[in-house]
């Protein structure tokens, strides 16, 4: 037998943070004693390899975004990195004609998603939860847009919106000179046009999340409510909806993240031309566009990072705290 009896806890081998080797009372003693050195190496490897990969490619780069945001760099050699303090941010907030519209569009994106497709998804979920016939057929139809890639979604909706050949203009006769409606090019229209496509997709996503939430609602609640003489709407409002609270939190977070991540659809639709600028598009244009401004692009990324973390961190802390209690 190679079982060791040293009291050194195995996590010290995995990731060596200060204080990690302190004893923890909750660990069953037998567990640790039976771990061989090889087991510890295995564990270190099992936790270490994925962590290193994830931290290196996601968190180190996120931190690098923050660092680069305070510099200018042409990308050729490290010598050319120059510290410029808050210059990039100053320029971004005061001089960039695209920045504030982009922020506004990201906000509009979120507001539209939470006000229209989210309640719509909830409504559909409530209807489909009624042990109705063909429920799966309907679900499949509503959920289909979530499965198809956003790039394909962009092309499909281009066929609907194309000013010359699209479905809408052909139907209403707006494809002739004189009554032209340019859904894709007109900066007053294109954001709303693309938001219709985004909502089309978001509804199905929300429907699935709410359906899962509704499955978890105790059926006796519904019966009790019915016996009390509550009608369908009253039951939903006073009994069902309050129990959906955890789902609502998830839905809110998912919707905010979706609004911040919005990219593919717009990029395919019109490359983020005037009217559809988004933070994600501005960052990308600073990399693959003609003028690669690394520091400046990173400053926009920092804005996006700060907003994202402001949502992600409290949500995850609340989630994990609840889990630990459970």
Partner 1 sequence: MSTALMVKKRTPVRPARILLHVFLAGTALAWLAPLLWAIFAALRPYAETSNKGYVSWPDKLTFDNFTNAYQQSDMLHYFGNTLIIAVPAVLLTLLLASMVAFYVSRFDFRLNIFLLLVFTAGNLLPQQVIITPLYRLYLLIDLPGITMSGKLYDSALGLVLIHMAFQSGFCAFVLSNYMRMLPHELTEAALVDGASVWRQYWQIVLPLCKPAMAALATLLSIWIYNDFFWAIVLISTGENMPITSALNNLSGQYFTDPNLVAAGALLTAIPTLIVYFLLQRQFVSGLTLGANKG
Contact 7, 27 (CB under 8 A): no
Contact 4, 13 (CB under 8 A): no
Q: Between 170 and 238, name the residue whose CB sits nearer to partner 1.
A: 170
Q: Which part of the chain contacts partner 1 (CB under 8 A), choosing from 87-95, 96-104, 110-118, 201-209? A: 201-209
Contact 261, 280 (CB under 8 A): yes
Write out the binding residues for partner 1, residues 248-287 only, by CB under 8 A. Answer: 250, 253-254, 257-258, 260-261, 263-264, 267-268, 279-280, 283-284, 286-287
Task: List the structure tokens of 262.
Answer: 């919005």
Q: Which part of the chain contacts partner 1 (CB under 8 A), choosing from 85-93, 110-118, 120-128, 237-245? A: 120-128
Contact 279, 106 (CB under 8 A): yes
Exposed (0-12), middle (13-18) or buried (19+): which is 28, by Cβ within 10 Å?
Answer: exposed
Alpha carbon distance 140, 211 (integer Å): 13
Among 107, 115, 171, 310, binds partner 1 (CB under 8 A): 171
**Number of C-beta neighbours around residue 311 at 10 A:** 14
Quick check: 310 binds partner 1 (CB under 8 A)? no
Write out the binding residues for partner 1, residues 27-66 only, by CB under 8 A. Answer: 27-28, 30-31, 34-36, 38-39, 42-43, 46-47, 49-51, 53-62, 64-65
Alpha carbon distance 95, 83 (integer Å): 20
Binding string, residues 212-251; x marks residues near partner 1 by CB under 8 A? x----------------------------------x--x-
CB of 238 to partner 1, least distance (A): 20
Those residues whose C-beta lies under 8 Å from the C-beta of residue 33, and which sit 6 or more positions away, are 3, 4, 5
Q: Which part of the chain contacts partner 1 (CB under 8 A), choosing from 82-90, 97-105, 234-242, 294-302? A: 294-302
Among 8, 37, 130, 237, binds partner 1 (CB under 8 A): 130
Beta strands, E only, the chain:
71-72, 82-83
Contact 184, 161 (CB under 8 A): yes
Binding string, residues 89-118; x marks residues near partner 1 by CB under 8 A? ------------------------------
């Amino acid at each position: 037998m190679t079982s060791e009896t040293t009291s050194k806890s195995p996590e010290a081998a995995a990731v060596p943070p200060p204080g990690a080797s302190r004893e923890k009372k909750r660990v069953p003693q037998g567990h640790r004693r039976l771990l061989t050195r090889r087991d510890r190496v295995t564990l270190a490897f099992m936790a270490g390899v994925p962590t290193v990969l994830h931290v290196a490619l996601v968190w180190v780069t996120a931190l690098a975004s923050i660092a680069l945001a305070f510099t200018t760099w042409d990308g050729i050699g490290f010598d050319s990195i120059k510290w410029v303090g808050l210059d990039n941010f100053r320029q971004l907030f005061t001089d960039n004609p695209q920045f504030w519209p982009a922020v506004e569009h990201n906000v509009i994106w979120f507001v539209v998603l939470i006000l229209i497709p989210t309640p719509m998804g909830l409504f559909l979920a409530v209807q489909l939860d009624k042990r109705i016939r063909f429920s799966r057929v309907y679900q499949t139809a509503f959920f289909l847009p979530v499965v198809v890639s956003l790039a394909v979604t962009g092309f499909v909706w281009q066929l609907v919106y194309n000013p010359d050949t699209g479905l809408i203009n052909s139907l209403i006769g707006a494809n002739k000179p004189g009554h032209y409606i340019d859904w894709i090019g007109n900066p007053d229209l294109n954001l709303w046009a693309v938001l219709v496509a985004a909502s089309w997709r978001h509804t199905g996503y929300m429907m699935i999340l709410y359906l899962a939430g509704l499955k978890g609602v105790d059926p006796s609640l519904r019966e009790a409510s019915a016996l009390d003489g509550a009608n369908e709407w009253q039951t939903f409002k006073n009994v069902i909806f309050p129990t959906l609270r955890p789902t609502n939190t998830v839905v809110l977070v998912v919707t905010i993240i979706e609004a911040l991540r919005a990219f593919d659809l717009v990029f395919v639709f019109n490359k983020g031309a005037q009217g559809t600028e988004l933070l994600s598009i501005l960052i990308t244009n600073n990399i693959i566009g003609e003028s690669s401004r690394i520091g400046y692009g990173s400053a926009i990324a920092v804005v996006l990072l700060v907003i994202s973390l402001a949502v992600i961190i409290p949500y995850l802390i609340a989630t994990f705290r609840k889990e630990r209690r459970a």
